[in-house]
Chains A and B, each alone.
Chain A
Amino acid sequence: MDRRSFFKTSGRKKSSFRVQGGIDPYGGAWTRDEVSHLLKRALFGARETDIQSFVSMGPEAAIDALFQPQPLPASPLREYGMVGVEGFMYDDLGVAVGQPWGDDLNTASDPQARPAINSARNGSLIKWMMGLMLHQNATIHEKMVLFMHHHFSVQMGEVDNATMCYRHHMLLRQHAVGNIRELTRLVSKDPAMLRHLNGYLNSKKAPDENFARELQELMTVGKGTDSLYTENDVIAAAKVLTGWRIDDATKLARFEASEHDMSTKQFSGFYKGVSISAGDGDTELAALINMIFGVKETARFICRKLYRWFVYHRIEAEVETAVIQPLADLLIAEDYELEPVLKVLLRSDHFYETARRASYIKNPYDFIVGTLREFNVSFPAMADYSVSYNYFDALAKQGNRMLMGLFQPPDVSGWPAYYQEPMFYEMWVNSNSLPRRADFVNGVVADGVVDVRAYANESGSQPDARTLVETMAGRLLQYPLSATSIDYIVNRFCPSGMPNDAQLKDIFTFIMNLPEYHLC
Chain B
Amino acid sequence: MNRRKFLSRTVPATVMPALLNGFSFSAFGSQPGSALHHLLGPDVPNDHILVLIQLHGGNDGLNTVIPLDVYGNYYTARANVAIPQDRVLRLDGTDKTGLHPAMTKLQTLFNTGKANIVQSVGYDKQNFSHFRSTDIWMTGDDSNNRSTREKRGWLGRYLEDVYPGYPYEYPNSDMPDPLAIQISDMPTVTVQGDVFSMGLSITDPMNVYSFVNPFNDYPLNSEDANRELQYLRIITDKTKVYSDIIRAAYSKGTNQGTYDDTSLAKQLAIVARLISGGLKTRVYTVTLGGFDTHKKQVNAGDTSTGGHADLLKSLSAGISSFQGDLEKQSLDDRVLGMTFSEFGRRIKSNASMGTDHGAAAPLILFGKHVKKGVLGTSPDIPADVQVVDNIPFQYDFRSIYATVLERWFCVDKTKISQLMLKDYQSLPIISGTPCGLDDDIDEVNEQADKMILKFWPNPYQQVATLQFSTPGGKTVVQQLNALGQLVRIHAQETYPAGTFNIDIYEDQLPTGMYFIRLQTGNLQKVIRVIKAK
Name A's B-contacting residues (CB within 8 A).
Answer: 4, 7, 11, 16, 18, 86, 155, 157-158, 217, 223, 312, 314, 354-361, 400-401, 403, 411, 413, 422-423, 425-426, 429-432, 434-435, 438-439, 442, 479-482, 484-485, 488, 509-510, 513-516, 518-519
Contacts and interface: CB of A to CB of B under 8 A. Distances in A.
Contact of B224 (A4, A312, A442, A482): A312
A355 B222 contact: yes
Q: Which of B214, B220, B238 has most chain A Cβ within 10 Å?
A: B220
Nearest to A437: B211
20 contacts: A4-B219, A155-B131, A312-B224, A356-B224, A358-B222, A358-B225, A359-B228, A413-B146, A431-B201, A431-B235, A432-B187, A432-B201, A434-B239, A435-B209, A479-B229, A484-B217, A485-B214, A514-B212, A515-B213, A515-B232
Contacts of A358: 220, 222, 225, 229
The 8 closest A-B pairs by CB, nearest first: A515-B232, A359-B224, A432-B201, A431-B239, A359-B225, A513-B211, A358-B225, A482-B219
Interface stretch (B96-104, B192-200, B403-411, B438-446): B192-200
B210 A438 contact: yes
Q: Which of B167, B185, B207, B222 has most chain A Cβ within 10 Å?
A: B222
Contact of B235 (A356, A429, A514, A516): A429
A479 B220 contact: yes
Given A430-B196, A431-B242, A442-B210, A481 B229 contact: no
Contacts, number: 129
A18 B243 CA distance: 36
Nearest to B224: A359
B13 interface: no
Q: Which of B131, B215, B242 has most chain A Cβ within 10 Å?
A: B215
Contacts of B222: 354-359
B231 A426 contact: yes
Contacts of A434: 211, 235-236, 239
Given A422-B195, A434-B239, A7 B232 contact: no
Nearest to B200: A431
Contact of A354 (B186, B221, B231): B221
Given A158-B131, A481-B215, 5 more contacts: A7-B220, A18-B223, A431-B235, A438-B210, A515-B235
Nearest to A431: B239
A509 B225 contact: no
Interface residues of B, number: 43
A86 B296 contact: yes
A488 B210 contact: no
B317 to A, nearest CB: 24
Contacts of A484: 217
A18 B239 contact: no
Interface of B: 129-131, 146-147, 167, 185-187, 195-197, 200-201, 207, 209-215, 217, 219-225, 227-229, 231-233, 235-236, 238-239, 242-243, 296
A283 B145 CA distance: 31
A413 B233 CA distance: 29
A208 B291 CA distance: 30
A513 B212 contact: yes
A302 B480 CA distance: 43
Nearest to A484: B217
Nearest to B135: A411
Nearest to A411: B131
Given A359-B222, A438-B210, A481-B219, A430 B232 contact: no
Contacts of B228: 359-361, 425-426, 519
Given A223-B147, A431-B242, A434-B236, A355 B224 contact: yes
A423 B211 contact: no
Contacts of B232: 361, 429, 515-516, 518-519
A34 B318 CA distance: 57
Contacts of A430: 187, 196-197, 235
A359 B185 CA distance: 27
Contacts of A7: 219-221
Nearest to A361: B228
B229 A432 contact: no
A443 to B, nearest CB: 11
B225 A485 contact: no
Contacts of A485: 214-215, 217
Given A484-B217, A518-B232, A435 B196 contact: no
A509 B209 CA distance: 12
Nearest to A492: B214
A356 B231 CA distance: 17
B219 A401 contact: no
B234 to A, nearest CB: 9
A46 B414 CA distance: 56
A505 to B, nearest CB: 12
Nearest to A506: B210
A411 B224 CA distance: 28
B210 A515 contact: no
B210 A509 contact: yes
Contacts of B221: 7, 11, 16, 354-355
A508 B217 CA distance: 20
Contacts of A514: 211-213, 215
A359 B227 CA distance: 8
A349 B230 CA distance: 26
